[in-house]
Structure 1
Amino acid sequence: MKKILTLFIVTAISFSFSQAQTFEVKVDSLLSQIFKDKNGPGGVFMVAKNGKPVYQKAFGNANIELDVKMAPQNVFQLGSMTKQFTAIAILMLVEQGKMDLQKPISTYIPDYPMGDKITVHHLLTHTSGIKDFTKMKSLNQIAQQNLSPKQMVDFFKNEPVDFNPGEKFEYNNSGYVILGYLIELVSGDTYENYINKNIFQKIAMKHSRYASDTAIIKNRAYGYQQKTTGYVNKTAISFSIPFSSGALMSTVDDMLLWQNALNKDVLLKPETIKKAFTKYKLNNGEPFNYGYGWHLKDIDGIATREHGGSIFGFKTMGVYIPDQDIYVLGLSNCDCNSPTQVVKDIAGLALKTLNKK
C-alpha cells in the first residue's frame, strides 16, 4: 500500500513539473515572437498562481545606450494602470466617511461646470462625459509644464462635455485627474504622499513610486520609442499632466504584492472593495464592462479584471482571473512592444495549462 501511495505522489509531482515546463515553453514561445531584437528595448513578464510566481522572465534591454540587460526587478512607468491605485484610494476615503460616491463633484469643487450633475461614481466609471484632455489639441502647449492638480483640472474643465453624465461609457483620463485632485482636497495631503503612505508603504511595495525623470531610481528601465530611423529616447513629459491617471511606477514583484493585498482585503473591507469589481449600468439600464479602475471582461466565459497602460516609452498590461487566482502581468519599455494581446494570450494559456484550484 505504501509503495502504491509513494508511486502516486511521485507521479503527481512529475506530472505537475512536466505541466509547468510545458507552460514555460509555450509562454517563452509567445514572448520570443515579440522580443526578437535582443539589442533593443524589452520587457518583464510574470504569471502568478495562488499568489506566487510560476513564471517570471525579462527580455531585451533596460538601457540600450549602456547595453544593460533587462532584469525582473526593473522599475517601469505603469501608465494607466495607475488608475486602479487612484480608485482604491478613493474607496479608502469613502470607507473613512470622508467622501461619498454618489455626491456631485461640486461638493468638493464648487465652481466645476456641471459639477452638480457629475458624481464621483461617474468619474470612476468613465461615464462623466467630461472632455478627455489627451484628445485636446492644446495639450502640447502644457505637456512639459509642471502644473498643480488645480491647474491641470482648470486646463480642461471649461471644455464642452461630450455627453450627459451616465449616458455612455467612454474611457476618460480627465476623470481620473479630477479624482486625484479630490484625494488631495479631502485628505489634505498630496496624491503622491497619500498613495505612498496608505498603499505602497502599508503593503511593502518598496520599489513603487510617483514617476520622475530626474530622481535617481535604482533599476530604472529607460523608455524608448521606435521611429522609422530606429529607436529614440522617449518624449519628455511632465508627470503632473497624467498625474493620478497615469504617473506611477512599479515592478512586477510589487504589483503582485498589490494584487495579493487586494485579494486578502488588506486595504479595504470586502464590501467596499467589491464596489471596484462590480459592473454598473448607464442611465438607460444598459450594463458596461468597467468597475472602478478595472475593465471587467472575460476569457472564454471566465471573468477577468484587466487594465493596460500607455505613456511615452512604456506600455503595460495586467489580467487577473479571480476564479483561479491567476495574475498575468507584462511591462514593456517601448511603445513598439505592446504587451496587451500577449498578456491576454498568456492568461488564456494559463487557464488551460495550470492546475485548477
Structure 2
Amino acid sequence: MKEHKENLLEEKQKELFFSGAFYAKKGDELLKGSCGFSNRSEKILNELDTRFSIASGCKIFTAIAICILVEEGKLSFDSKLKDCVDVQFPYFHEDITIHHLLTHTSGVPDYFNEEVIDDFESLWKSYPMYNIRSPKDFLPLFQNEKMQAAIGSSFQYNNSGYILLGLIVENVAECSFTEFVEKRIFRKAGMERSGYFEMDRLPEQTALGYIEEPDGTWKTNVYSLPAKGGPDGGAYVTAKDIVNFWQALMDHRLLSEEMTKMLLEPREIVNEEQNIYYGYSGYMLLNDDQKVVKYIQMGYDPGANFRAVYYPVEKATIVVCSNKSDGAFELLKEIESII
C-alpha cells in the first residue's frame, strides 16, 4: 500500500516538474521525498535535509513571537502601535492595535499591495534589495504613505502590518527580530536547521530559488527578494522542521495551552463561501459546524513556493517546500488525497 502511494507521488512530481521536498506524517504513517535541483548549475540535488525559503509561510512565527511577549506581560493584543515603537507614521490612525496588525485589518499601506503591484521583483528597481536586512529597512517603502483602508475594516492581506509587528518585537524584546524567533521558537521546536539566512551568506544544503524565463531558461531569485527575510516572510526551513514546529506548538512547548488556543482561534472571514477564516496563526478551513478542519501555511515569492497544513483532529501534518515559483499546492493536494 505504501509503495503504491509513493508511486502516485512520484508520478505527480514528474507531471509537475516538481523541485523541492515534502514530508507528511499522520500517526505512524510517513511519506517523504525530494526531487529536482537545489543548484541547477552544479546539478546538486534537493534532499530531505535541504533548506528552502518559505516566503510568507513564516508569518505564523511573527504571531507567536508577539504571543510570547503578551504572555510575559510586556504587551497586550490591545496595545497600540504608537505606544510600542519609536517611529513616526504621519498618516497612520493612532488607534491601530496589535490585534489589527495580526489580523490584517489595520488598513496601513501595504508595501506590496498585490491589487496594485503584480511583480514583486519590480519593488527593488528603485530600492535595492541588498539594503533590506532588518524590519526598519522596509520603512521607506510605506512609512510616509496614507492609509489604504479604514482601521478595523474587513480582512485585507497586508505585509507591512507584519513588518510593524517585527519592529514591535525588536523594541520590546531589545534584540533583533530574527534572533528572537530563532532562539525562542526555532530552537525550542527542534527546528535545528531553520533560520533567517542572508541570500549572500547562505549555509550549506540551502536551495537556490529559481525563476523560469519566457524562453525556458532559468535564473536564480538572488535579485528578486530582500537580502534577508524577516517578520513578513523569508525564513529558511526543512520540510521536517515544519512538522517539528506543529508538534511543538500543539504540545504547548512554545506557548501555554490558553495562549495556543488564542493563537489558533478563527477571527476574520476571508472567504465565507469556502469557509476560509484567518486567525493570529494564519489561514484555516472550518466545517459547517464552525470547527477547524485544518490550519494552513502558505508562501509565495519569485523562486519560492510553500504549503503546509495541520489537521488538529487527525493530528496530521503535510509540508511541501519548492525552490520554484509553483508546484507546492498541487503536490500537497495529491498527498492530502492519499494520506
Task: With the length of structure 1 as denominator, give the TM-score of the two structures.
Answer: 0.83
Whether the aligned pair in 1 keeps the contact of 2:283 and 2:296 (CA below 8 Å) is: yes
Whether the aligned pair in 2 keeps the contact of 1:43 and 1:331 (CA below 8 Å) is: yes
Read off the aligned partner of 1:126 and give its amino acid letter: H
User: Is residue 2:102 matched to residue 1:124?
Assistant: yes
Note the alpha carbon deviations across 1:32-52, whole angstroms, 9 max, x for none: 31127xxxxx110111113x6
Read off the aligned partner of 1:146 and give its amino acid letter: N
Gap change, CA 1:53 and 1:175, over 3 Å in 2: farther
Note the alpha carbon deviations across 1:125-159, whole angstroms, 9 max, x for none: 11111121113778332242424533423430222
User: Is residue 2:259 matched to residue 1:272?
Assistant: yes
Structure 2 SS opposite 1:320: strand
TM superposition shift of 1:93: 0.4
Structure 2 SS opposite 1:221: coil
Query: Which among 90, 109, 112 is matched to residue 85 of structure 2?
Result: 109
Match of 2:281 in 1: 293
TM superposition shift of 1:338: 2.9
Query: Which among 210, 219, 228 is matched to residue 214 of structure 2?
Result: 228
Match of 2:203 in 1: 217
C-alpha distance in structure 1 between counterparts of 2:284 and 2:182, whole Å: 26
Query: Which among 344, 349, 357 is matched to residue 333 of structure 2?
Result: 344
Structure 1 SS opposite 2:75: coil
Whether the aligned pair in 2 keeps the contact of 1:279 and 1:288 (CA below 8 Å) is: no
Note the alpha carbon deviations across 1:293-318, whole angstroms, 9 max, x for none: 32011589861110211223211111
Structure 2 SS opposite 1:290: strand
Read off the aligned partner of 1:332 and give its amino acid letter: S
Q: How does 1:232-243 map to 2 (within 5 A)?
A: 232-237=219-224, 239=226, 243=230
Whether the aligned pair in 1 keeps the contact of 2:210 and 2:304 (CA below 8 Å) is: yes
Read off the aligned partner of 1:208 and give its amino acid letter: S
Match of 1:332 in 2: 322
Read off the aligned partner of 1:213 and give its amino acid letter: M
Whether the aligned pair in 2 keeps the contact of 1:48 and 1:54 (CA below 8 Å) is: yes
Whether the aligned pair in 2 keeps the contact of 1:235 and 1:313 (CA below 8 Å) is: no
Name the one with the larger helix percent.
Answer: 1
Q: Which deviates more, 126-135 or 80-89?
A: 126-135
Note the alpha carbon deviations across 1:228-284, whole angstroms, 9 max, x for none: 2211122425636752101211101211111110110001001101122111148xx
Query: Which among 177, 182, 185 is matched to residue 171 of structure 2?
Result: 185
C-alpha distance in structure 2 between counterparts of 1:233 and 1:299, whole Å: 40
User: Is residue 2:7 matched to residue 1:30?
Assistant: no
Read off the aligned partner of 2:106 and give its amino acid letter: S
Q: How does 1:310-321 map to 2 (within 5 A)?
A: 310-321=300-311
C-alpha distance in structure 1 between counterparts of 2:67 and 2:49, whole Å: 29
Query: Number of matched residues?
Result: 322
TM superposition shift of 1:339: 0.8
User: Is residue 2:26 matched to residue 1:49?
Assistant: yes
Whether the aligned pair in 1 keeps the contact of 2:135 and 2:231 (CA below 8 Å) is: no
Structure 1 SS opposite 2:231: helix
C-alpha distance in structure 1 between counterparts of 2:254 and 2:297, whole Å: 20
Q: How does 1:28-107 map to 2 (within 5 A)?
A: 28-35=10-17, 42-50=19-27, 54-107=30-83
User: Is residue 2:223 matched to residue 1:247?
Assistant: no
In structure 2, runs of 5+ residues without a counterpart are 270-274
C-alpha distance in structure 1 between counterparts of 2:24 and 2:276, whole Å: 28
Match of 1:171 in 2: 157
In structure 1, runs of 5+ residues without a counterpart are 1-17, 37-41, 351-357
Larger radius of gyration: 1
TM superposition shift of 1:28: 2.8
Percent identity, please. 27
Whether the aligned pair in 1 keeps the contact of 2:268 and 2:278 (CA below 8 Å) is: no
C-alpha distance in structure 1 between counterparts of 2:135 and 2:39, whole Å: 32
Read off the aligned partner of 1:24 and give its amino acid letter: E
Match of 2:272 in 1: none
Match of 2:243 in 1: 256
